[in-house]
Structure 1
Amino acid sequence: MRTGGKKTYIGRRKEREVNWVKPTIIVFGILLVIIGLYFGVKIAAIRNSPEFDLTKISAYYFYLPDLSTDISKIVEANNSLVIVDGNKRVVDIIDIPATLFVNSSKIDALNTNPKDFAVAVLGLLQIKSDYVYTVTLKSDYLRKIGVSNIDEMINTYGKRGLQIFDYFSLKGQVSILRPESIITDASLAKLYSSLGKFNIRKHALPLLTQKPLKITVDEKIYYRTYLDEGKLSGFLEELKK
């Protein structure tokens, strides 16, 4: 009596496996090419933008959200004016007290429109900036980039600079900063890149007092830290170095 065994078709099975693997590899390769092209186009669009141009001077005025009702924060708070000069390969960071008052032009950091204030201070410092951005330091923005304040942001990007995957989080950061700011993907990328590549110099404006003065006018209370305009020429020389 004959006993029959199961027939196996090893050759055909291997052939089917090969036929399945080849198209998968091809599709995967095409996807990689498409993703690479997408990354390349996106990065190129940012780096070729006029706002990323390192031959242009860009100024960023970072200011804290409305402090007018919080006296404890007013007297201690500082804003920052960040100036990127690619020709000098320098990022100048100027501390601006939130209560700064410029007597000659009657502008103050608390009550003047942030864009007008930034432009006025740049004029006072004789800085001709091609681009001026105002940025509210929203908690959502700081959380998005993994820092708690402007000093941490500067230190973080000063060490790491702009990395490839940062390009794909810029749009989310910009959307958080809108509508108060007109900053763009390219201008943020330029800032982060410059912090990582250029020399960072920190400056403190010459002030008449280190703490704000409490002034009462017509029963209204103002806190003012007066700019020492008599020492401004020396400060300008420091900036020009």
Structure 2
Amino acid sequence: MKRKRTGLMWSIVIAVILVGAFVLWFTVSSGAIKNSEEFTASVLHFAFVCKDDNYAYFIRMDVSKRMVYVIRFPQYSFNPMTNRALDVTNPLEVFNFAENLIDFTSNKRYYAVVSKEQIDKFSKEVLHRQEENFEKLLRAISERKSKAFDFLLFKKWVSIFKPETTLTPAALAKLLYEVQRNAMRFYYPEAVTEKPLQILVDGKTYQRVYLDANSVQFIRDDIKK
């Protein structure tokens, strides 16, 4: 009987140690994300290039206003107010084009170039259902409730967007956290023409989708409120 009791006691001690070790590891892991530069930043910019749809989504997250601003740009967008053109296949161009349009910058920038397959896989991992495009995925995430063990999954979720991404687990955590708790506003700059126009400049042909100046000005003014 003594041996059985001793064995049971050791089993309980080991179980307590294992549980304590897990709780400590979870606390440290979640704390590392919550205390990171990404998660504690007040303004962050994200760019998601949807290479199958030829769209780019620029996201400005402003914690002080409790707002998330989302602007969708089609390929070959051209801002007549600044004479700037956009190639959505280059995420750095998306940042420059969008920040010039809204007249705001951020030193926290993260991007991902994603395919439909990656969006599908990410939505199944996070939402346990399929979303057909990035916008629907973002709207669905805004209605999702955070779970305690999300902090253990951000690294895995970020890996879905590799190799074309600068997202970190903490940056993704920040994106999901703020989208879920703040108001989100979508903008779709109006185009003057439905299809891209071919422009000849110095012997080179460029395609441009001219954005309506009034639409651009409205977006800029609305975000500055």
Give the TM-score range, shorter chain.
0.7 to 0.9
Q: 2:101 aligns with which of 96, 100, 124?
A: 124
Larger-Rg structure: 1
The reply on whether 1:50 has 2:37 as its aligned counterpart is yes
User: Equivalent residue for 2:176?
Assistant: 192
- After alignment, is 40-49 or 219-228 more displaced? 219-228
Matching of residue 62 in structure 1 with residue 78 in structure 2: no
Q: Does 1:152 align with 2:136?
A: yes
Cα pair 1:213 1:223 within 8 Å, conserved: yes
Name the SS of the counterpart of 2:64 in structure 1.
Answer: coil
Deviation track 1:5-58 (CA, whole Å, cap 9, x = no partner) reads xxxxxxx3xx33322211111101110110011111011001101111142x11
SS in 2 for 1:129: coil
Residue 94 of structure 1 and its aligned partner are, at CA, apart by 1.1
Q: What root-mean-square deviation, in Å, do the aligned CA atoms of Structure 1 and Structure 2 show?
A: 2.5
TM-score, structure 1 length as denominator? Answer: 0.79
SS of corresponding position for 1:160 = coil
2:198 alignment partner, one of 187, 208, 215: 215
Q: 2:67 maps to what in 1?
A: 90
User: Where in structure 2 are there 5+ consecutive unaligned residues?
Assistant: 125-130
With over 3 angstroms needed to count, the CA separation of the structure-2 counterparts of 1:142 and 1:201, relative to structure 1, is same
1:136/1:38 Cα in 2 relative to 1: closer, same or farther (>3 Å)? same
**TM-score normalised per structure 2:** 0.84
Sequence identity percentage: 24
Asked if 1 retains the 8 angstrom alpha-carbon contact of 2:58 and 2:94, the reply is no
Q: CA deviation at 1:126?
A: 0.8
- For the residues of structure 1 that align with 2:148 and 2:195, how far apart are their CA atoms? 43
Gaps of 5+ in 1: 1-11, 68-72
